[in-house]
Amino acid sequence: MDVLERFLKYISIPTNSTNKSESIPSTDSQKGLAELLVKELKQLNLDEVYYDEEHCYVYGVLKGNDLFPKIGFISHLDTSEEVTDKNVKPRIIKNYDGKDIELNKDIILSINNFPELKNYIGKTIVTTDGTTLLGADDKAGIAEIMAMLEYFVDTKEEHGDIYVAFTPDEEIGKGTDFFDFSRFKADFAYTADGSDVGEISYENFNAATAKIKIEGISTHTGSAKDKMVNSSLIANEIINLIPNERPENTEGYEGFYHLNFINGSVSNTEIKYLIRDFDKTGFENRKQNIKNIIGLLNEKYNGCIKLEISDTYYNMKDKIVQNMHIIENAKNAVKRLGIEPTITAIRGGTDGAEITKKAIPCPNLGIGAMNFHSIYECACVEDMQKACEVMIEIIKEYTIN
């Protein structure tokens, strides 16, 4: 079964996760894909296959030569809740001509808005119909890992133990909450969850969430003089005091404050900010800045504001740089396929960040897709195949070095 065939099968199964649930998995639909993967792993006759039915984690091991390192590969089952992935209707465009693509009569995948499409000219790309996610994030990664396993099963080429894992709820930051390291004993691993093929990432944001609750005083507007405290207007003051360093204004290694949620009335208003920075000092400064703003306004409004800041994940770079062979060998693998490797910093996080923090160095690989979390998501068939081959070449790299 080739990468495209697998990919089309996987995206037919809806797996949106949701922040509205406290359970893991946050949606039962993810179990449908997990159960299919368990079946396929068993059909490949892997030496060990395990399914954590309660929390929806899938593990597999293809045993190899003990003389070589144990290498792991990880992708996530869920898709972003930003757009539905129910009833995905993929469109396959062969020999793409580099022009705008009409997803439907109202939605255009424009070369002006998405100039990266030029990288796909002459290739076969898969798009949505403009009404759903495609699901390439991260079902392209899953398809590539499964195709990689099939390659080694069929060819019987020499390799070390190959560990694979498929996790739930990565998109809501809970992908490793119940990850079982006793079933994933890789010496190091890679997440297949990036964008362009040949992309290798071992830096990501430090991340925190600031939850702000404002308690106002509601009175009749006719007698509100010196009595009413409008929590929504206080929220507006907070927003205006936070620096204009937003996702839409930043790039590269620039951090940001992202107003992720706001809901309010005169009596009560809630705000949620996402805080991001690559640099540890910058990260701590951003958190302190919000604390200072809330402290200032609490003095003005008699302590009516409550602030809770919690760290979400950290930059994996510190641990990866102690194991740079993982990056160098990935670069060598990419070069052998005639692709120039690109080292990029992830302006977000992956399961790999938490896995690196907890136990196993785990950088990220590109999967040959773009425009994640939107109706404009698309994937390149040739690049997905190359991404699979990158994994194969990484494994081979450790049998010759």
- Residues noted as catalytic: 78, 170
Expressed in percent and rounded to 5, the helix, strand and coil fractions of the chain are 35, 25, 40
**CA separation for the pair 332, 329 (Å, rounded):** 5
Residue type at position 16: N
**CA separation for the pair 303, 281 (Å, rounded):** 28
DSSP state string for 217-286? B---GGG-TTT-B-HHHHHHHHHHHS-S--GGG--TT--EEEEEEEEE-SSEEEEEEEEEESSHHHHHHH
How far is C-alpha 385 from the geometric centre of its chain's CA atoms?
A: 20
The closest alpha carbon to 199, from 386, 72, 71, 6, belongs to: 386
DSSP 189: E
**DSSP β-ladder status, 188-192 and 71-76:** parallel
Integer CA distances (angstroms), 198 to 36, 145, 159, 363, in order? 28, 15, 22, 13
Omega before 169 within 30 of 0, i.e. cis:
no
Vertex 76: Cα angle to 73 and 80 (nearest 5): 150
Is the separation of the CB atoms in 215 and 304 below 8 Å?
Answer: yes
Give the number of other Cβ atoms within 10 Å of residue 338's Cβ.
8
DSSP 121: T
